[in-house]
Amino acid sequence: MGEKSNSGDAINSTLLHGKYELGRLLGHGTFAKVYHARNLKSGKSVAMKVVGKEKVMKVGMMEQTKREISAMNMVKHPNIVQLHEVMASKSKIYIAMELVRGGELFNKIARGRLREETARLYFQQLVSAIDFCHSRGVYHRDLKPENLLLDEDGSLKVTDFGLSTFSEHLRQDGLLHTTCGTPAYVAPEVIGKKATTAPRLTSGLADDNLVALYKKIYRGDFKCPPWFSSEARRLITKLLDPNPNTRITISKIMDTSWFKKPVPKNMMGVKREEMDLEEKIKQQEECKSTTMNAFHIISLSEGFNLSPLFEEKKKEEKEIRFATTRPASSVISRLEEVAKAVKFDVKKSETKVRLQGQERGRKGKLAIAADLYAVTPSFLVVEVKKDNGDTLEYNQFCSNELRPALKDIVWRTSPPENRTPA
């Protein structure tokens, strides 16, 4: 969360469960207050969102609170505000989040127009975050400059997932059928009482008269300032297409020449120079974390730290290790068959096989490495692991392609059908 203008407000320093020192008030809304807090063990600062349990339950906002916690924990990305942990007392829910000190993008825009290179950098980071959310089945539904924060290095951070939804809430036609978000940014198809297409960006237009505003959004009535480049104008026109069926998609946005222009080095913060975006994502995904079962949030009487209540083991990237009595040549041939079926390239030796996709995924081309170890001349152990690419794509490849293809060559002490029930 970012610091708001009411930094003069303060409260007496309070210890939360002996773990956090609660400091000054950074901002507040109808149902929550955000404080500066310090982790006493690490010394690091966090933003502590304090939600009144009774108040949110009274107005039926508990589901929204659950969604926010679950969504934030599912999307670990350098351009999304990070959730550290969730705690509670009998009357409060405490959400410890990454502290983002640079304020809202809205405030920066309000001070005057941005250079196109700066706007492109923020847009690239935003689209990267949106694309990552959608790959995890999370849809924000309230993207606007007020929900985009800036850190000290000028990197963008998406926040406020209270209106988010998940892929299981999509109907079979792939569409979301609920209105959502802020009026000035609502999608034209929602105004037209049509389903809102989840993976699209919504428009941001302003008008004092709400009816006139909705008419402009529905018609796609907008004007670009004269200083916009022709490439930027073309992209914005495609983004604000009122027809969701012809509106530009995330993948097409990322393929436009305007989007793909590199960021000048003098605009990149120290952190961005030290580590590129994909490396950050890779490191964050490899950290041990859990997926929160938000429905347990109602059970607040069992102690202060709610982490055990939220634990459903996340599907981590796993090595596949199995034994086989087949010769190495048979295992290699089977892996080559899998590669051929999915149009992967193959590099092999007598003890190693590497499969690599021809198409670029979310984090480069997916690559899988298999090492064959001969325990005896007739007994092999095979280890398969991700060598490059996205963890989710690797897990899907293993589940859908690799495991079924290798099933009959995996050595078992006895056939499954002959096992005696316990």
Annotated binding site for ATP: 53
Q: Which residues are annotated as a binding site?
A: 53
CA distance 190 to 101: 34
Answer left, alpha or beta for residue 247, where phi above 0 means left and psi between -120 and 50 means alpha. beta
Answer left, alpha or beta for residue 346, where phi above 0 means left and psi between -120 and 50 means alpha. beta
* Token pair listed for 19: 């773990």
CA distances from 43 to 19, 21, 95, 186 (A): 10, 10, 17, 41
Task: Return the amino acid letter for 215.
Answer: K
CA distance 68 to 294: 9
CA distance 267 to 270: 10
CA distance 184 to 321: 53
Which candidate in 9, 131, 142, 371 is catalytic? 142
CA distances from 385 to 318, 321, 322, 352 (A): 7, 9, 12, 12
Residue 131 a catalytic site member: no
Give the dihedral sign, CA 274/278/280/282.
negative
- Which residues are identified as catalytic? 142
